[in-house]
Amino acid sequence: MTAIHDLTRALQRNNTSKIVLFVADGLGGLPMAPGGKSELETAETPNLDALARRGSLGLSIPVLPGITPGSGPGHLGLFGYDPLEYQIGRGVLEALGIDFELGPDDVAIRGNFCTVDDDGRITDRRAGRIASDIGTRLCQKLDRIEIPEVEVFVRPVKEYRLVIVFRASGLGGNVNDTDPQKTGVTPHEPLGSDEDSQKTAEICKQFLSRAAEILRNEVPANLLTMRGIAKQPDIPTYREVYGLKAAAIAVYPMYRGLARLVGMDVLDAGATLDDQMNRLQAVWDDYDFFFVHFKYTDSTGEDGDFDAKVARIQDVDAVMPHITALNPDVLIVTGDHSTPSKMCSHSWHPVPVLLTADTCRYDNCESFGEAHCHRGGLGQFDAKYLMLLALAHAGRLEKFGA
Amino acid sequence: MTAIHDLTRALQRNNTSKIVLFVADGLGGLPMAPGGKSELETAETPNLDALARRGSLGLSIPVLPGITPGSGPGHLGLFGYDPLEYQIGRGVLEALGIDFELGPDDVAIRGNFCTVDDDGRITDRRAGRIASDIGTRLCQKLDRIEIPEVEVFVRPVKEYRLVIVFRASGLGGNVNDTDPQKTGVTPHEPLGSDEDSQKTAEICKQFLSRAAEILRNEVPANLLTMRGIAKQPDIPTYREVYGLKAAAIAVYPMYRGLARLVGMDVLDAGATLDDQMNRLQAVWDDYDFFFVHFKYTDSTGEDGDFDAKVARIQDVDAVMPHITALNPDVLIVTGDHSTPSKMCSHSWHPVPVLLTADTCRYDNCESFGEAHCHRGGLGQFDAKYLMLLALAHAGRLEKFGA
Cβ count near A400 (within 10 Å): 8
Question: Residue range B338-351: average pLDDT?
Answer: 98
What per-residue confidence (pLDDT) applies to B2? Answer: 56
Q: A57 and A378 in contact (C-beta within 8 Å)?
A: yes
Asked if residues B42 and B301 have their Cβ atoms less than 8 Å apart, the reply is: no
CB B116 within 8 A of CB B109: no
Return the number of other C-beta atoms located less than 10 Å from residue B334's C-beta: 22
Q: E strands within A75-137? A: 106-116, 122-124
Strands B223-230 and B106-116, by their bridges, are antiparallel
User: B330, B395, B391, B383: which is closest to B58 by C-alpha?
Assistant: B383
How close B385 gets to chain A, by Cα (Å)? 6
- Taking only the tens place, the pLDDT of each residue in A322-360 is 999 999 999 999 999 999 999 999 999 999 999 999 999
Q: What is the ipTM of this complex?
A: 0.90
How do residues B29-72 score in pLDDT, each as one tens digit?
999 999 999 999 999 999 999 999 999 999 999 999 999 999 99
Closest CA to B248 of B15, B75, B91: B75
A390 φψ region: left (φ > 0), alpha (ψ -120 to 50), beta (else): alpha
A153-173 per-position pLDDT tens digit: 999 998 999 999 999 999 999
pLDDT one-digit tens code per residue, A13-35? 999 999 999 999 999 999 998 88
Mean pLDDT over all residues of chain B? Answer: 96
Q: What is the pLDDT of residues A222-266, one digit of tens each?
A: 999 999 999 998 899 999 999 999 999 999 888 999 999 999 999
> How much is the pLDDT for A35?
82
Three-state SS at B207: helix
**In a 3-state reduction of DSSP, which class is residue A134?**
helix
Mean pLDDT lowest among A185-189, B2-6, B135-139, B194-198: B2-6
Give the pLDDT confidence of B384-396 residue by residue, as tens digits: 999 999 999 999 9
Burial of residue A265 (number of CB atoms within 10 Å: 0-12, 13-18, 19+): middle
DSSP structure class, residue A144: T
Report how far residue B255's alpha carbon sits from residue B218's, in angstroms, rounded to the nearest whole number. Answer: 34
Whose CA is closest to A151, among A174, A137, A169? A169
Say yes or no: A232 contacts chain B, CB-CB below 8 A.
Answer: no
What phi and psi values does residue B27 have, to the nearest 5 degrees? -60, -45
Q: What is the pTM of this model?
A: 0.91
A65 reaches B (C-beta below 8 A): yes
CB atoms B401 and A73 under 8 Å: yes
Name the nearest CA neighbour of B334 among B31, B37, B61, B145: B61
- Chain pair A-B, CB pairs under 8 angstroms: 91
- What is the arithmetic mean of pLDDT over B214-237? 95
In angstroms, the first-to-last Cα distance of chain A is: 24
Phi and psi angles of residue A356, each rounded to the nearest 5 degrees, phi first: -120, 140
Band of pLDDT at residue A2, cut at 50, 70 and 90: low
Residue A138's DSSP bridge partners are none
pLDDT value of residue B402: 80
Pairing of strands B161-167, B151-158: antiparallel
Strand B122-124 relative to strand B246-249, pairing: unpaired
Q: Is the pLDDT of residue B174 over 90?
A: yes
Q: Which of A36, A346, A375 faces B399 most closely, judged by CB atoms?
A: A346
Asked if B379 and A375 come within 8 Å (Cβ–Cβ), the reply is no
| Contacts B387 to A, Cβ<8 Å | 66
CA dihedral A44→A48→A52→A57, nearest 10 degrees, is -100
Mean of pLDDT over chain A: 96
The CA–CA distances, whole Å, from A122 to A135, A221, A247, B213, B321 equal: 18, 11, 45, 75, 52
Confidence class for position B1, pLDDT limits 50, 70, 90: very low
Secondary element (H or E) of residue A250: none
Please state the rounded mean pLDDT for residues A268-278. 95
Which residues of chain B make contact with A347, given a CB cutoff of 8 A? 359, 392
pLDDT of A1 over the 60 cut: no
Mean pLDDT of B274-288: 98
* Mean pLDDT calculated for residue range B155-162: 94
The pLDDT assigned to B285 comes to 98
Q: Are A233 and A1 in contact (CB under 8 A)?
A: no
pLDDT at B275: 97
In B117-236 the beta strands, taken as DSSP E runs, fall at 122-124, 151-158, 161-167, 223-230
pLDDT in tens, B355-391: 999 999 988 899 999 999 999 999 999 999 999 999 9
Percent of chain B with pLDDT over 70: 100
Q: Does A379 touch chain B (CB under 8 A)?
A: yes
Q: Which amino acid is at A95?
A: A
CB atoms within 10 A of CB A213: 9
Of B364, B385, B401, the CB nearest to A371: B364
Question: How distant, in Å, are the alpha carbons of A41, B151, B286 from that of B173?
Answer: 57, 16, 36
